[in-house]
Amino acid sequence: KEFWDMLERLKSEGITVLVSTAYMDEASLCDRIALMREGSFIATDTPQNIINR
């Protein structure tokens, strides 16, 4: 929780942060996400658009 609160503060200051997670519930807190398979990007979009695919 503390980590995500810190990221929210940085976001409000306009600071870009790159986060790596295997959990979609965490990724859904981000503005944009990129999915990777075997080292290559297979999708880049908003979390909701990725979920809707």
Take residue 45 and report the two structure tokens written for it.
């979009």
In this prediction the pTM is 0.75
Mean pLDDT, rounded, for 8-21: 93
Query: What digits encode the pLDDT tens for the residues 20-52?
Result: 999 999 999 899 999 999 999 999 999 999 999
Q: Which domain holds residue 30?
A: 2-52
- Beta carbons within 8 Å of 35's beta carbon, 6+ residues apart: 41, 42, 43, 44, 50
pLDDT of the residue at 47: 95
Where does the pLDDT of residue 1 fall: very low under 50, low under 70, confident under 90, or very high at 90 and above?
confident
Q: How many domains is the chain built from? A: 1
